[in-house]
Structure 1
């Protein structure tokens, strides 16, 4: 059977009609081909390669070629089956972190030190066949999958998918931990645990700053970052190191980083057991509470001064008094 149609010139033309069984057979064949593709490739193509990104034109018939060398290549940062060519210095590295460590080494002239922005990578080299090619997930020469997780935006390859990598459009980079476990806060400018979605205090661009202890840029840090009660951010290991030295105040705003009520009770007992000499009994001083921000006039004591508003001892003396 054929249907009659009018072409753009206005003349009659015969348009062949594909028999229905043929269409069904073609769809079934296409579905079988898609089902035979490894799931991690389907996921990567659908979610991490923009439409304008170059895709691999080679057809891989099985998973043996794709999985060759799986978890056998890579560096201390990623398990992957490719190297990158850094466009800034035209040198080859395992990953951008390897580049940054090498090019920011203390032995390098300070004027020559630099980082490699992840989005600028344009060329990769297959670790198995050394073929240099455009950034893509599957090697165009040997057909190996260069990374089970692949992001065409960040140019990221990683065979270790146990990290649960995902690309955050708000951050503009890839994160780990699973997209279902994190949310992006537009005001803070970063991803936080879903447990903090309704409770974390928002601070403008809180993650776009250096750690107040080690001074590493937090937004791109590969170490765990914690949001304090005040909203400021810090490395988890740096906070633990502070607590080992009995430092429990935020290095930026001096607010308490945890519930200190039990400690304040001990201060009450210590002050009660330490009476002041007669000439200081009625001395008054002004204090500023680091926790609630309240200014108060209180009795002077050599141990500590308690905020009458929030009952915190995290205070500082602003000026003395003569009474």
Structure 2
């Protein structure tokens, strides 16, 4: 390939890749010895195999061979093709064996996570208790939950830690996909699917229920019955008067409660 060194390095930039990444190489999957555009291409195909026992995911750090998309030369993992001299990825991580030409994503490798992230290193910090990188806006401003990102989204069940989708940290400290969270709120579901705590400010709703209860007289048989409740928001247990519209926590005034014993008449 003729031209200056920089011209050779940049040849074909953003012109090759798969639907996941713009890059000038494919990878040979060490688990099945096939060529794929990236690990996501491999995982999508492998997880469609008829036999569940054959389904598997590629371990990114195990990749040893790549194939240049410009000259089709297979070689050991490196940023620059040993044959034609192009950069196979403007961004390159030798730990993750990761290539990407679209540097506007501001990729960076987090040693604590052990994988590459996007969004710019200066915009994130690693929370050691939660076990993941979070936006700097959450530094000292979120409830830590042990390894909160190392589980599956409670809505779509995709593994969150290395998901390509944006995630959100809820008030309770649990995490889920941003789009799953928005869909949940759209369907008027305001409790964390994991711990049942309220994830938005519900004070106006509680006030409305107060007014509805005040205006709704219970039948004589139930008017003085009491029930033991557990508050999902503050974890307090109290005995309160039973009402068909809900039971109010005497500690935090939340109606996000559940009965832990059937209603009984006073002695």
Q: Does TM, scored on the shorter chain, surpass 0.5?
A: yes
Give 1:317's match in structure 2, choosing from 252, 256, 259: 259
> 1:245: Cα distance to partner?
1.7
Give 1:91's match in structure 2, choosing from 34, 41, 45: 34
2:28 is aligned with 1:62: no
2:165 is aligned with 1:219: no
**2:105 corresponds to:** 163
**1:102 corresponds to:** 45
Matches of 1:76 and 1:236, distance apart in 2: 21
Matches of 1:108 and 1:97, distance apart in 2: 18
Matches of 1:129 and 1:252, distance apart in 2: 50
- For the residue of structure 2 that corresponds to 1:266, the secondary structure is helix
**2:188 corresponds to:** 246
Matches of 1:97 and 1:308, distance apart in 2: 50
2:21 is aligned with 1:78: yes
Residues 105-254 of structure 1: pairs in structure 2 closer than 5 A: 105=48, 107-254=49-196
Matches of 2:161 and 2:13, distance apart in 1: 30
Matches of 2:134 and 2:159, distance apart in 1: 16
> 1:168: Cα distance to partner?
0.3
Normalising by structure 2, report the TM-score.
0.96
| Residues 62-93 of structure 1, C-alpha deviations (whole Å, 9 max, x = no match) | 31111111111001100000011111111101
> 1:123: Cα distance to partner?
0.5
Structure with a larger share of its residues in helix: 1
Matches of 1:167 and 1:275, distance apart in 2: 61
Q: Hey, which bits of structure 1, 4+ residues long, moved more than 6 A?
A: none
> 1:231: Cα distance to partner?
1.0
Matches of 1:110 and 1:317, distance apart in 2: 41
> 1:61: Cα distance to partner?
4.6
2:232 is aligned with 1:290: yes
- For the residue of structure 2 that corresponds to 1:304, the secondary structure is coil
What root-mean-square deviation, in Å, do the aligned CA atoms of Structure 1 and Structure 2 show? 1.2
- Is the 1:286–1:321 contact (alpha carbons within 8 Å) kept by the matching residues of 2? no
Matches of 1:279 and 1:214, distance apart in 2: 44
Larger radius of gyration: 1
**1:37 corresponds to:** none
Structure 2 portions without partners, runs of 5+: none
Count of residues in correspondence between the two structures: 263
> 1:113: Cα distance to partner?
1.2
Deviation larger for 84-93 or 270-279: 270-279
Matches of 2:166 and 2:265, distance apart in 1: 49
- For the residue of structure 2 that corresponds to 1:312, the secondary structure is coil
| Residues 80-123 of structure 1, C-alpha deviations (whole Å, 9 max, x = no match) | 00011111111101001001111111x43222111100000001
